[in-house]
Each structure stands twice: as structure tokens, then as C-alpha cells.
Amino acid sequence: MAEILTKSRARNIFYGGSIFFVVVFVGMTVHSHRYVVQTSTAGMPLSEEVRHGKHVWEEHSCINCHSLHGEGAYFAPELGNVTTRWGVQDSPDDAFWMLKGWIESQPSGLEGRRQMPRYELTDEDIRALSEFLRWADQTDTQGWPPNDAG
């Protein structure tokens, strides 16, 4: 490296530049935070039920088999758009009954097929979960996923 770039210059560029990028990033984060609350997830209220559903989702670590908006594990189907795939996005009752039917028929026990464990959930929990999934599905995700297969 040329002599113009001395060690102390390199160090100063590192510190100065990093501070600059941190500041820009924080600014964009603040803007994005507002955008999420006011625009991209504003289509449906973040109700008590949805919040509870998120906790049920976390308590059972669904994310370590499934993906949600494309993040998580790759062992089981994408769930960010599952209510669309099931055609129940606009109907809380249908979403609840579909999900209840699904959860209560697990594990399938089919030989050679990936198994989803059986979770003993109350109707209230299932209802919360289906609302959480409907809520996730209404998020404006810039058109992702490309199709209903997820």
C-alpha cells in the first residue's frame, strides 16, 4: 500500500467512517420503525389476541421447523402466507377452524413423511395463533413470496 496511507490515517478513516455509517443506519432504522407501525403492518390492529398468538408461536419454537416471511428453518412450509394458501385470510372463523383441524391431526405418523409434533393447545391459544398468522399475512412484504406456494 502506498505511503500516503499510513497506519494512523487508516485508523482515523476507520473510526470516522464507521461513525458516519452508524449514524446513517440509525436514521434509517428510525424511519423504518415508523413505516412498519404506520404503513406496512397497519392493515389489521395489533390486538391482544395477535400478541398472544405471537407468544404461543414463540413458546413452541415453530420457527425452528418453519420459515415466517422467509426466515427461520427450512424443514417445513413457509407460514407467512399460509392463510392466503388456505384461502382463509379474510375470515377469522375459517382460519381458526382450519388451524384447529390441522394441529389436532398431528402427528400424521405417515412413514417417510416429515412429522409435526402434536401440541396440546386450548381453543383460545389456537384462535390467537390463527389471528397472529392472519396478521403476519396482511403485512406489506413488497410482493414476497412470488406465489402462494410460499
Of the pair 22, 124, the CB lying nearest another protein is at: 22
Nearer to ligand HEM by C-beta: 71 or 124?
71
Q: How far is the CB of 66 from ligand HEM (least distance, A)?
A: 9
Site string for another protein, 81-120 (x = CB under 8 A): --------------------------x---xxxxx-x---
The span of 14-22, 92-100, 123-131 binding another protein (CB under 8 A) equals 14-22
Please identify which residue in 27, 30, 31, 93 interacts with another protein, judged by CB under 8 A: 31
* Alpha-carbon gap, residue 131 to 89, rounded angstroms: 9
- Write out 34-69 in H/E/C secondary structure: HHHHHHHCCCCCCCHHHHHHHHHHHHCCHHHCCEEC
Separation in Å, CA 16 to CA 3, 19, 29, 32, 100: 20, 5, 20, 25, 55
